[in-house]
Amino acid sequence: MTQISKTLAQLYETDFVAWTEQTVKLIRAAQFAQVDWDAVIEEIESLGRSERRELKSRLEVLLQHLLKWQYQSNLQSGSWRNTIDEQRNRIADLLQESPSLKSYPEVVLAESYSRGRKAAMNETQLPQSKFPVECPYTITQILDTEFLPDPA
């Protein structure tokens, strides 16, 4: 390992932003031998995981608010509607930017629903039995900007 790549590897551990800036300079200058490729690969893999994590998190929040909308309809508010719209918009943005994630919401629906259901129970303090065990909405409904569940 050359002195430059040793320094770059240390920078990766101590100052991530400086590491990214230095790595970009090296790649643009076609100094490929100086690049810490293991770290670059790790970061590229991390980006994909991050996109999936964000999509799943937004789906959980969306499901939480759809459940609140349906099962605590007497407290529906513009804030809840804004949260529902915001989550749908951000999910749509993620799917547009990364079309390969199009099937991912279906893959994580059961787990996302379970977490969204738990959050809705915590927030509403309604009994667990009030909420369906299985997700009562299809992915199409969940992502449909016009869909809101009818009050229970």
Q: What are 7-52's pLDDT values in tens digits? A: 888 888 899 999 999 999 999 999 999 999 999 999 999 998 999 9
**Is pTM, for the whole model, over 0.85?**
no
The domain ranges of the chain are 1-35, 50-143
State pLDDT tens for residues 88-126.
999 999 999 999 999 999 999 999 999 999 999 999 999
Q: Residue 138 — pLDDT band, cuts 50, 70, 90?
A: very high
Q: What are phi and psi of 63, to 5 degrees?
A: -65, -40
Mean pLDDT of the chain: 94
Residue 3 confidence (pLDDT):
55
Distance, in Å, from the CA atom of 23 to the CA atom of 81, rounded to the nearest integer, reads 43
